[in-house]
Structure 1
Amino acid sequence: MSFTVYKSSAGSGKTFTLVREYLTLVLENPWKYKRILAITFTNKAANEMKERVINALLQIGNQQQNPLSGSVAVMFDQLKEKLKMPDEKLVENAQMVTQLILHHYSDFAISTIDSFVHKIIRSFAFDLRLPMGFEVELDTEETLRRIIDLLVNKAGSDEDLTNLLVKFTQAKTEDEKNWNIEDDIYNVAKLLMQEDSQKQVKTLKEHSIGDFIKIHVVISKFIFEYEQQLQKFGDKAMALIRQSAVGEAAFAQGNRGIYPWFNRFAKGDFSRQKPTNTVINTVEQDKWYSGKASAADKAAIDSIKQQLSDVYLEILQHIENNEEKYKISQAVRNNLYPLAILHEIEQILDDYRSENNILLISEFNQRISKVVMNEPVPFIYERVGEKFQHYLVDEFQDTSVLQWQNLLPLYENSLSTNNFNMIVGDAKQAIYRWRSGEVEQFIQLPKLYKSDDLPLIKEREQVLIRNHEAKDLIHNFRSAKQLVEFNNAFFKIVAGLLPENYREVYANAAQIAGSSNTGGFVEIAFYKNDQDEFDKETHNLNRIVEIIHQSEAFDYKPGDIAVLCRNNSSASLIAAHLLQQNIPVVSSESLLLAASINVRTIISIARMLVSADDQIARMELLNWFRQNKKMEQDWPSSIEQWVKGAGKDFRIKSFFGNLEKFGIKINSDRLLELSVYEFCEEVIRGFDMQNSNDPYIPFFLDSVLDQMKDPGFDLKALIDWWGRKKDRLSIVVPAEVNAVKVMTIHKSKGLEFPVVIYPFANEKLKISKDKLWVDPGEIIPDLNTILVDASANLQETRFEESYLEEKGKSLLDLINVLYVVMTRAADRLHVISDYPPKSAESVSIPVVLKHYLQTANHWQDDLTIYKFGDENTRNQNKEKPGGQQKPIDLTTSADWRKLVSLSLQAPEYWEIEHPAGDSEWGTLIHKMLSKIRSKKDIQEVVSAFEANGLLDFEIADKIGNQLRHFITHPAVEPYFNPEITSLEEFDLLLPNGDIQRPDRVILDGDKITVVDYKTGRKSEKHVLQVKKYIKTLQQVGYQNVFGVVLYIYEKNPVEVVK
């Protein structure tokens, strides 16, 4: 047995190979299915592999009834040859394995590496000092955002932290940047989750906030003094020029010469410090005058040129002596303040984990690594090592260093007992470096990447080397022959653009066409800005539509076509345009929740409640009305009137009141009392969205529900969450829909399509990592590691090598992305790019395309479309299965308050003998009136009763209106004068121990008025009851006593008791 490394390429049958090796093991011994662990990169890939394994087993086991065909027939022949077993035995074992897997499915171990590590961590939670019932938090970004909120909230209570945050904000303001510091802190906080930053972060935590502030002061002082000196030199030179009364045009090269060079320094512009060749020639070759200079100008320049030359040399000397330190100081300064609080962030994160009983998924490998790196036989793997004997890893090029090092003990243990293990990957498709994937790790196998200072890792490396067997998968079973040949030629040439140490990635990229399709077509189309009146965007969109229609003419259906984009914004733009052209589209980007006007309206209502003067939210709501044809001429009569309604004169309650004109009943006070999820449902019901059959709404509600586990998730948190997530949240649709697929290149990885269109192929080379870890040396002696901005300014500094290494990796990222997109097509590939510049200062996709065409002798300056292969390539597989679509009604939950109302004091509020009807209603009215001293109290009392579950919101509105009508009646209002003194439900104790309780007693000097409320019709017994109250008060000494009965529902509500 061996440690087999399969090096694959696009379409080379990587999954086929994995399934074949899995079947080789289980068909030899069916019980081995329990002893195999197959690891893939995504859940989708894991499910696909499971499906492929089971389908292959079913077909092999059932081949007597249904003869084998396609890839399974090829695989069966290879299995027979390798296992040397008769057909009957293979069929018998296949049937047995199928039965074992289906009856013991939990032992069918094909999963992602995160799922595998999670199981280990869960099993050894106690040993790893984790709470036993911890929950896995998948959304690292959301968690870090919450941590930063908690950090900022500490400002004011922690003196050092407050001082730093204030200084950070001031520094950003002085640099004329957005003063909001939370994004800067978040970008650095992510380092806590990144595998390749752990060592540096650990070192930095040894320093206090005060240490970083002192370093910032020193660096800022040096930068200021350096720039101040340059400005003095500039002022000195410009003073000489002004004194001589010479203008810019008199100097050589005018606005590109020495005059503007001096002037930039004088104005405080230090962006371009080095002199250009023109400036150098002016001084060193004594070429000071322009052709337009007059004799007087020349004489004036001659009088000062020596002094200007001296200033020029002073500037050069100043730059030479200090430039490296200046560049490094600038690169360091921007990151000092965020780095200073990393330790504080980690402490808050630890507390947050404990309080919420969570573990971030990004921490899995770090937790395991702390054990694996320090133990020859890690205890956490003892059980795993006993269970599994074979390990098969897919997509190895995307596996991080830490993930691979964590798996090494398992491979070491398995290889020591002579078991088969394998890895498969393709370095050319390594496009996940931002997830800590390292392509060098795959290239160097069986040697281990980044293992120099780890003795245990070096020992395990020797085990891999002794058992290593390399195999190349060189056939392409996906693409037509001429497509394969084009890509072979293309990437052989393009690989020459890579730094020498990365050319190995494409050294064996050439493939042999394995497809029976001998056709294939490639088109590269460049767009010249001056060739027609359309702009770049319009040209790309129109060309996509043309290609789709051309493809349909060659028998391709919309579902056969994929449009691949570099980013989500392009995908959304394309999807919207295709839909406008009545072309069916399916895309996670086109199906973003943000595409739903209903979802955006829910968010807009939230925004208006948080900030009534949110004009964007109001415009979004106006858009909803227009789309739902609910606009009327009188309200609002125009968009302008709608927008001008914002500001101090705008009243949110009157706005919601106006909604009733359209049958939309929403109470703003009530909305503010609801949880976020209930708020969303209330808006859906209020706007009758549940009858729109909008598929986006249930997905939106599910996403909101996921956030509800955070107790601080209120309306403002909803708005912030939506702002961060709206470009990623999408609905899920079946894969087999007959529609053009629009997706990002990253999401297309591993997929194939008959026709591929790659528009907006214009990306320029940019550094993938915007920050680099470096050792600042004597420039910052107090720190042995620091984070710097990765920019061209690092060139000609001691960090140039680090910058160029990252630039080389970024170029490989760009070429690899191009490889992925150009190898997705089975039949036809269309690339739409900008026309490349005549002389390129930097690498871009147009430059790469031109480089190939020139090197292959295809380039012509006047040609914009290049065609390769058979332009008439047609669809060879016209029939595609498809299901019928059936609309599903959208349902939302009913308002539970209409079904259940909680009464907290039933015996007091209800008359027990008559728990319903007028009696209960009257008791409730009495209780509310006992809380109302004047008409100003009505809304507050109604809201309080509603909040306590004593009223639902519809009854609350009704009873509130009734109470206002009653209390503001001219005959009743004097009894609710806020200036008078009154006692509500005042107890009168009788001599026999009985208690009388009038509803209201009003004290006005020596005059007393007894008030009783009634909800029924007028009756003599009501008058007699008040007379009893009057008599009681007179018996205890009050002589001037009067009484009234106030009837709430009578036209003449006041009955005076004489």
Structure 2
Amino acid sequence: MDMPASGNNKTAAPALKSDTELEFPHALLISASAGSGKTYTLAQRYVQFLLSENIPGHNLENILAVTFTNNAAKEMKTRILEWLKELALNPDSPKMNETLQLVNISRPEAQKKATALVESIIDNYSDFHVQTIDSFMTRVMTASVNELDLPLNPEITMAYNDLIELALYSMFSHLGHDANLKINIDTFLNILPEKGAYPWNPVLRIRDHFAAFLNEEGKTKGGILSDNSGAPGKAREKLWVDILKSCGELKKQIKPELMKGSLAAAIENKDINAFISNYNFENWLLNGQKKSRKTGEFPITPETKKDLEYLSELVRQLLMADALSWFHPYTFIYSRFKAELERVKRGKTDIIHINDVNKKLSTYINANVAPDIYLKLGERINHYLIDEFQDTNKLQWDNFKPLIEESLAGAGSLFMVGDIKQAIFMFRNADYKIMRDLLTYAEGKKDHCDNLELASVGGRLELVNLPVNYRSGGKILEYVNAVFKHDLKNRKELIGEDITELTSYEQAPRKERAAAGFVRTISLEADNITEDQVERAELLKIIESARKRYPLNEIAILAAKNKRIKPVVEWLTAANIPVASLSSLDIRERRVTAELLALLKFLETPADDSAFVAFITGEIFGKAAGVARTELLEFIFQAHTGHKSQVTSHKLQGISTSCQNILYTQFKDHPKYSGYWDQYFDELFRKTGYLPLYELCALIYSKFGLFKNFPDEAAFLSKFLNIVSKAQTDGITGVRDFLDFAEGDDETRGAAFSIILPDYLDAARIMTFHKAKGLGFSVVINLIYEDRDADDSMYFDETPEGIKVYKITKSAAAQLPVLGRIYNNKKTDESVQNLNLLYVIETRAKEELYNLVIRKKRKEPSKTVKSTDLFDNYQSSEKVATTFSESTTTVKKVADTFLKPLEPEPVYSANYDIATAIPTLNAYAGAKEGELCHDILARIVTSHKSDTSSDSTLSTLHSTLSSLYAACAASYPIRFNEAKIIKTLFAFLTMPEVKPWFEPKEGRVIKTEAEFADKTGNISRVDRLIIDKDTVTIIDFKTGAEATEKYAKQLKRYLALAAEIYKLPAKGVIAYVDLRKIIDIRA
């Protein structure tokens, strides 16, 4: 976002009122346009509140500013601190003049306060509440874990992919011993074929549909509904029978040549889906070409026409039944999946999806008064500032509302700033209709605001528009206004109702920039938009011209999708134009990183010839060994054909055994390449599976000299090691697990494998339209493709009971008003998002804007109006002849000031005894068995009756252990010996010394997996804590070999801490479960 300029000591009139004019409570909505200084105005408001003594409750911890991305929150913090810093260091600055217009304070006092505030923010940074809205909700959740029944420190994830996979795997793994589940799945599989072609792997489709269900549930408080009676499906089948009967009668009345061929075939084959997709309500069963040109009627009798109209009514009923029943197979098992998903999330990892945070808080916040929330947070929030308000989703807003309304009921305030024309994140559940409602109310076009209670402010919602664009030149704004306020306005089939004011906004450039800017739009046509690459030459020509006037990092190429970005990166690279794309900043897209992953894949699975080939023919091996790629390719070819290699003169024999046919064995045994195997691969091959993951990667870096051979890839290589280190910390310790993690394509993985682009990097920027929001560049080149709209027949309708899932086609929507409303609502949202996206990309340029519009070549104009029709060939006045004078060596000098990374040093030497030092598979299984025993014991609080007891009110110990085993064991990656574990635990729990630990007593409190902190904040967790009236007992359960001396030291620390906390004598016990041995420990 570009900041308003107030140079030459001329102070621009602020959009905000001064502190002497403000009355509290106060609600303000700022409606802005691109480049008008939304974030700047928010920072201005924040500083005003901090400095003014006329603002009630204005301490640092009483002000909350929220936005929607971490980068935006970081930028906002930076701006606030820079503003205060400028006031503190330069009392005569333009910002000081602006500030003094807003705050009734003297210049020296403002400087003094700003200095103190900078120091206060640094000293109390945790009170500096400028964060994402999700971060704030997570704060509330964390402070209320007891009320919400949540773990103390859950892992919050943005992606459902892994959770869905785990839950489905866990659910299907119970098929063998869960009769009800088996019935449900059998029913699902039986009704699935009724919906068209049977999917060869239903799990893939289940996964995709369930992901869509979960995403939709993340928007609202409701859940997906399922009619387990199957009534719509039964109605569908009955209607189909009636329709076939009616069609049979009609065929007797209609001449065969009048029938539409595809419908006749569908009736003959009894293909319901083909019938629905081909039926036309205007022509019924008939071929439209057989209508009379004069009358527009078919040559049929009135009775036949009446029967056809009756058939259409049956088809309408069929469409409704089809819409309701299409996704029934999935909704039928969805509730069982959701239960399994919750169990997986509450397993050993305690994962919570970001949508769960808002859903769990929704009921809690709305049921509890705001003071209780503030009590949990330990501070009161009086003033709320919300950036990018158009991106708020409904659930987030519903959670915020009670807190905001409580603030407005006192002397608080609400500040909202947004641009409804830039609402482009509906796919992330953003709901622009919230801002639309508040705008309509503030403009006086409605009497009641549906989304905010304003009685406490006398119904006043102040509205301020920001009319000046501080980013773009006047010529660019003239073009943008012409496209949206004229061309789009006159194309009602595109815009419909102008919900986001794309055709009615007001915005002007700064006076001194009125004649600045250049625009050119080039329309191109291609037979095949993807393969013809008609835009390539024009794009390169534009960049070569622009780089003479501007540095490369001020040139941006924007495209709608990542698939359009990748070829552009290749074109620029081939033309020797440095390029940095957000996709190329995903280190997995880098060639060197891809080769590292290929090597790890080969080491994990040596039989994977493709992974071995990818590595030895790559740059890492080529630079280290000095072997030509062409020579290796010939070796590979000869190895697979069994012929004599002309390069090596070595007979590569087609040996019959599968082991010798594996490529790496032929490489290892080859007289020319065996030395390379010994030097580079042998040690890695032997130690894979034994060395920790990070140490293995460090050994790879060392052997192949990666930092030395690839200095330009140092940032990516360092990032890769950091990812490996963090993954190992998070429990991803094996090569296979890491490869699975690296191959994920969700948002969480994308963030993990991405690096931040340094500002000094002299390279053209390439990014998607969405990523460009909020950014500005001197030169912007938009690649606008005439792509087909996604074909998605899944529609949702929120009702008071929950969310209904429909399959809706265009023809069904046209015939049935209920479906038409749902269909049109979704299409309206999609249209709003697509048109807003065009506005966003057209307003990124400061000096020069280029649009390359790539259309499908047609013999006749398309009957469907598309958004690309807004762009015709155009050129504004000639570009201002400027030359970029900054030396490109400046960038290099900046980059060279950074230290070169050091090669990672492996901890283990070549003589390291792997066999004795690294745990074996049996040891790993034993450790996991011990963890399982701990889990089960942690869930047993008080004792159970003996298996021979006649008291039917108590469950037996044996049945309890069986139930707990079933609940706990499923979350582990290996299969245990159930009988053995239950027998071991039963024998342990029935020991005379152990029974008292599980007996209830008057005044006794038993805690399992109890956590407490010492004076320095270190957290300790004990297996079992028993607090009696006169003593405290800590029991530490152990499995495996005795190591009493080692365990006793730790237990004694726990005992000292427990004695200090509870002011009672403390005693400890080390209990070896499988050995049935008890060791008493005294503090």
Please report the TM-score for the alignment, with normalisation by the length of structure 2: 0.69
Which of residues 403, 421, 443 in structure 2 aligns to 1:410?
Answer: 403
What's the secondary structure of 1:23's corresponding residue? helix
Please name the residue that 1:888 is paired with. 900
- AA of the residue aligned to 1:346: K
Please name the residue that 1:590 is paired with. 584
What's the secondary structure of 2:533's corresponding residue? helix
**2: distance between equivalents of 1:24 and 1:774?**
42
Equivalences for 1:189-200 in 2 at 5 Å? 189-192=211-214, 194-195=216-217, 198-200=220-222
What's the secondary structure of 2:835's corresponding residue? helix
**1: distance between equivalents of 2:733 and 2:164?**
15
Cα separation, partners in 2 of 1:423 and 1:768, compared to 1, 3 Å: farther
Please name the residue that 2:116 is paired with. 96
Please name the residue that 1:570 is paired with. 564
1:12 aligns with 2:47: no
Cα separation, partners in 2 of 1:276 and 1:415, compared to 1, 3 Å: closer
Q: What are the superposed Cα offsets for residues 693-743 of structure 1, whole Å, 9 maximum, x if unpaired?
A: 344344334445555567687655545444432893433331331110001
Cα separation, partners in 2 of 1:772 and 1:601, compared to 1, 3 Å: same
Work out whether residues 262 and 278 of structure 2, in 8 Å CA contact, stay in contact via their aligned partners in 1: no
1:807 aligns with 2:807: no
1:340 aligns with 2:332: yes
Please name the residue that 1:859 is paired with. none
Equivalences for 1:741-820 in 2 at 5 Å? 741-766=765-790, 770-773=794-797, 786-795=804-813, 796-797=815-816, 798-820=818-840
What's the secondary structure of 2:634's corresponding residue? coil
Which of residues 754, 758, 762 in structure 2 aligns to 1:730?
Answer: 754
Work out whether residues 397 and 441 of structure 1, in 8 Å CA contact, stay in contact via their aligned partners in 2: yes
**2: distance between equivalents of 1:514 and 1:81?**
21
Work out whether residues 480 and 516 of structure 1, in 8 Å CA contact, stay in contact via their aligned partners in 2: no
Which of residues 200, 204, 207 in structure 2 aligns to 1:182?
Answer: 204
Q: What are the superposed Cα offsets for residues 85-144 of structure 1, whole Å, 9 maximum, x if unpaired?
A: 332222222222222222322222211112222222222222322222333334443333
1:524 aligns with 2:518: no
- AA of the residue aligned to 1:93: K
Please name the residue that 2:142 is paired with. 122
Work out whether residues 479 and 827 of structure 1, in 8 Å CA contact, stay in contact via their aligned partners in 2: yes
- AA of the residue aligned to 1:526: S
| Alpha-carbon distance, 1:198 to partner | 4.8
Please name the residue that 1:657 is paired with. 665
| Alpha-carbon distance, 1:481 to partner | 0.9
Equivalences for 1:853-932 in 2 at 5 Å? 865-872=873-880, 874=882, 882=891, 883-885=894-896, 886=898, 888-889=900-901, 891-894=903-906, 896=908, 898=910, 901=913
Which of residues 285, 304, 324 in structure 1 aligns to 2:292?
Answer: 285
State, as a whole percentage, how many aligned pairs show the same letter. Answer: 20
Please name the residue that 2:107 is paired with. 87
Work out whether residues 385 and 413 of structure 1, in 8 Å CA contact, stay in contact via their aligned partners in 2: no
**2: distance between equivalents of 1:384 and 1:368?**
14
| Alpha-carbon distance, 1:445 to partner | 1.2
Cα separation, partners in 2 of 1:529 and 1:588, compared to 1, 3 Å: closer
Work out whether residues 232 and 325 of structure 2, in 8 Å CA contact, stay in contact via their aligned partners in 1: yes
Please name the residue that 1:823 is paired with. 843
**1: distance between equivalents of 2:323 and 2:409?**
49
Q: What are the superposed Cα offsets for residues 398-445 of structure 1, whole Å, 9 maximum, x if unpaired?
A: 011221222223322332333343110110111111222111100111
Structure number, greater radius of gyration = 1
Which of residues 417, 429, 449 in structure 1 aligns to 2:422?
Answer: 429
**1: distance between equivalents of 2:253 and 2:165?**
50
**2: distance between equivalents of 1:835 and 1:60?**
53
**2: distance between equivalents of 1:119 and 1:784?**
28
| Alpha-carbon distance, 1:567 to partner | 1.2
Work out whether residues 639 and 663 of structure 2, in 8 Å CA contact, stay in contact via their aligned partners in 1: no
| Alpha-carbon distance, 1:4 to partner | 0.7
Please name the residue that 1:853 is paired with. none
Please name the residue that 1:492 is paired with. 485
**In terms of mean alpha carbon deviation, does 569-578 or 490-499 score higher?**
490-499
Work out whether residues 436 and 499 of structure 2, in 8 Å CA contact, stay in contact via their aligned partners in 1: no
**1: distance between equivalents of 2:924 and 2:799?**
63
| Alpha-carbon distance, 1:813 to partner | 0.5
**In terms of mean alpha carbon deviation, does 90-99 or 735-744 score higher?**
90-99
Cα separation, partners in 2 of 1:380 and 1:873, compared to 1, 3 Å: farther
Q: What are the superposed Cα offsets for residues 324-363 of structure 1, whole Å, 9 maximum, x if unpaired?
A: 2333344444422222232222222322233223333332
Work out whether residues 557 and 780 of structure 2, in 8 Å CA contact, stay in contact via their aligned partners in 1: yes
Cα separation, partners in 2 of 1:942 and 1:534, compared to 1, 3 Å: closer
**1: distance between equivalents of 2:732 and 2:304?**
61
Q: What are the superposed Cα offsets for residues 250-277 of structure 1, whole Å, 9 maximum, x if unpaired?
A: x79xxxx945664565465433221777
Work out whether residues 476 and 518 of structure 2, in 8 Å CA contact, stay in contact via their aligned partners in 1: yes
Which of residues 632, 637, 659 in structure 1 aligns to 2:634?
Answer: 637
**1: distance between equivalents of 2:119 and 2:782?**
45
- AA of the residue aligned to 2:525: K
| Alpha-carbon distance, 1:563 to partner | 0.5
Cα separation, partners in 2 of 1:281 and 1:528, compared to 1, 3 Å: closer
Q: What is the CA RMSD across the aligned residues, in angstroms?
A: 4.5
**2: distance between equivalents of 1:677 and 1:338?**
42
**2: distance between equivalents of 1:230 and 1:600?**
61
Please report the TM-score for the alignment, with normalisation by the length of structure 1: 0.70
**2: distance between equivalents of 1:481 and 1:456?**
36
Equivalences for 1:152-301 in 2 at 5 Å? 152-165=172-185, 168=188, 171=192, 175-192=197-214, 194-195=216-217, 198-201=220-223, 203-204=225-226, 211=228, 214=230, 218=234, 221-222=237-238, 225=241, 258=260, 262-263=264-265, 265-266=267-268, 268=271, 269-270=274-275, 271-274=277-280, 279=286, 285=292
1:847 aligns with 2:869: yes
Please name the residue that 2:155 is paired with. 135
What's the secondary structure of 1:724's corresponding residue? coil
What's the secondary structure of 1:479's corresponding residue? coil
| Alpha-carbon distance, 1:519 to partner | 1.5
**1: distance between equivalents of 2:352 and 2:770?**
27
Unaligned 5+ residue runs, structure 1? 242-250, 289-304, 450-454, 777-782, 851-864, 907-940, 949-1058
Work out whether residues 399 and 437 of structure 1, in 8 Å CA contact, stay in contact via their aligned partners in 2: yes
- AA of the residue aligned to 1:630: V
Please name the residue that 1:38 is paired with. 65
Please name the residue that 1:60 is paired with. 87
- AA of the residue aligned to 2:417: V
Cα separation, partners in 2 of 1:234 and 1:520, compared to 1, 3 Å: farther
Please name the residue that 1:327 is paired with. 319
- AA of the residue aligned to 2:40: F
1:545 aligns with 2:535: no
Work out whether residues 281 and 287 of structure 1, in 8 Å CA contact, stay in contact via their aligned partners in 2: no
Please name the residue that 2:96 is paired with. 76
1:394 aligns with 2:403: no
Which of residues 434, 438, 445 in structure 2 aligns to 1:441?
Answer: 434
Work out whether residues 757 and 831 of structure 1, in 8 Å CA contact, stay in contact via their aligned partners in 2: yes
| Alpha-carbon distance, 1:752 to partner | 0.3
**2: distance between equivalents of 1:124 and 1:489?**
52
**2: distance between equivalents of 1:534 and 1:197?**
36
**2: distance between equivalents of 1:574 and 1:591?**
15
Q: What are the superposed Cα offsets for residues 31-78 of structure 1, whole Å, 9 maximum, x if unpaired?
A: 7333221111111111111111111212222225xx52xxxx1x4333
Aligned length: 844
Equivalences for 1:706-717 in 2 at 5 Å? 706-708=726-728, 717=737
Work out whether residues 775 and 784 of structure 1, in 8 Å CA contact, stay in contact via their aligned partners in 2: yes
| Alpha-carbon distance, 1:285 to partner | 2.9
Which of residues 40, 43, 51 in structure 2 aligns to 1:27?
Answer: 51
Work out whether residues 446 and 465 of structure 1, in 8 Å CA contact, stay in contact via their aligned partners in 2: no
**2: distance between equivalents of 1:230 and 1:735?**
71
- AA of the residue aligned to 1:665: F
Unaligned 5+ residue runs, structure 2? 1-22, 443-447, 643-653, 927-1083
Q: What are the superposed Cα offsets for residues 371-404 of structure 1, whole Å, 9 maximum, x if unpaired?
A: 2222344622346595332111111110112212
